[in-house]
Amino acid sequence: MRLDLLFSQINRWWAPIEAAGILALVGIVGRVVAGFLLRYLSRWARRSSFDAAALLFGRWAGPARLIVPLLLVMVAMPGVRLPPEADSMLKQVLGLVLIGALAWFAASSVYVFRDVVLSKYDITQKDNLKARAIYTQLQVIERIAVFLIIVIAASSMLMTFDKVRQVGVSILASAGIVGIIIGFAAQKSIGTLFAGIQIALTQPIRIDDVVIVEKEWGRVEEITLTYVVIKIWDLRRLIVPITYFIDKSFQDWTRVSADLLGTVFLYADYSLPVEPVREELHRILKASARWDGKVWGLQVTDARERAIEVRALMSAADSSAAWDLRCEVREKLLGFIQAEYPECLPKVRAEVREPEASGPRRAVGNP
């Protein structure tokens, strides 16, 4: 009797063990086949003139090693004997994993598209207006696409469960009420999402734009669907809601082009001869590697009660060069005036009365 009981237990478990062994073997074969195909295709990609080939197989290698064995196992499942409960559970698990693998594959395709397009543009160049526009658009589009892929994959996984499907039908039956509630609750979030899409399409700002936001000078380092990261000149980061660039005014120094005009203001006595200072400015600019050679000039822009205001104008290829050029010109012009015309530095004039003399008044100037 004990032998009969043992044989009956063996017969009972033999079919599931056999089925599991067959499916495992099929999965291993699929893994080997996927690896062989990927090696062959990667060698072809390295020899191919198609620029995106290496990127494609580099990104697709991971999901392909998972999708191919899964498909072979799912094809082989009808040919093996499994208990109904185990068969149903295994099909559901394989379906969930397959959905995740396909989502991985789709997200990888988005990244491949991004890498292929960005490989044709160099954002490190000085005149990088078009590159910054493409970078900005692709960064936002990539985040939207990956977000939608994750939402669709998660929804598909949940819909494989019967109970969740029934809940979904019940929710859809009262979709009007739920939609109104969600609309009020997520009004700000939806507005922020649409602001991100509007930024991507209209591009009031771009990646690497030089902007003045909240009286801070910096460059646009990152644009997401909800916020923008500004890298300030002293390496701090200013996190700004993306709706800020839709609702409020800000300065964009590189909206049309990267080149800028810089100004330096000096204050000197009325006796300062302007023409030698103008010639010195031109000499300083010609000797500087930061000047782009386009614009320069020196003018007296104001005459106040104690001094005249002299404005030096110069152009540079970008904002960083303009800042350094302004500092250089300011230092050298001050040194020139101190060395050549020290008597023309700003003075405070006063009228002094001689207490014991009744003669004419005399003006005294103190440097």
Please provide the DSSP assignment of 78-107 as one string: GGS---HHHHHHHHHHHHHHHHHHHHHHHH
pTM: 0.49
pLDDT at 171: 47
pLDDT at 332: 95
The residues, ordered by sequence, that sit 6+ positions from 289 with a Cβ below 8 Å of its Cβ are none
pLDDT at 190: 66
Check the CA dihedral 118-119-121-124 and report its sign.
positive
pLDDT at 291: 93
Blockwise average pLDDT, block size 10, the chain, 367 residues: 48 56 66 68 60 63 76 70 69 81 87 80 69 78 85 80 59 50 57 74 83 90 86 90 87 79 92 93 93 92 90 90 92 94 82 64 50
The residues, ordered by sequence, that sit 6+ positions from 204 with a Cβ below 8 Å of its Cβ are 245, 246, 252
pLDDT at 6: 45
Closest of 43, 39, 38, 62 to residue 112, by C-alpha: 62
Amino acid at 145: A
Pairwise CA distance, residues 252 & 199, whole Å: 14
pLDDT at 336: 94
Closest of 248, 247, 243, 228 to residue 191, by C-alpha: 243
Considering the domain delimited by 260-348, tell me its CATH architecture: 2-Layer Sandwich (3.30)
Q: What are residue 38's phi and psi, to 5 degrees?
A: -65, -40
**Bridging pattern class, strands 251-252 and 210-213:** antiparallel
pLDDT at 83: 66
Query: Structural domain boundaries of the chain?
Result: 1-120, 121-258, 260-348
- Residue 163 burial class via C-beta count within 10 angstroms: exposed 0-12, middle 13-18, buried 19 and up: exposed
pLDDT at 159: 77
CB atoms within 10 A of CB 81: 11
Closest of 38, 208, 203, 61 to residue 122, by C-alpha: 208
pLDDT at 187: 58
pLDDT at 272: 92
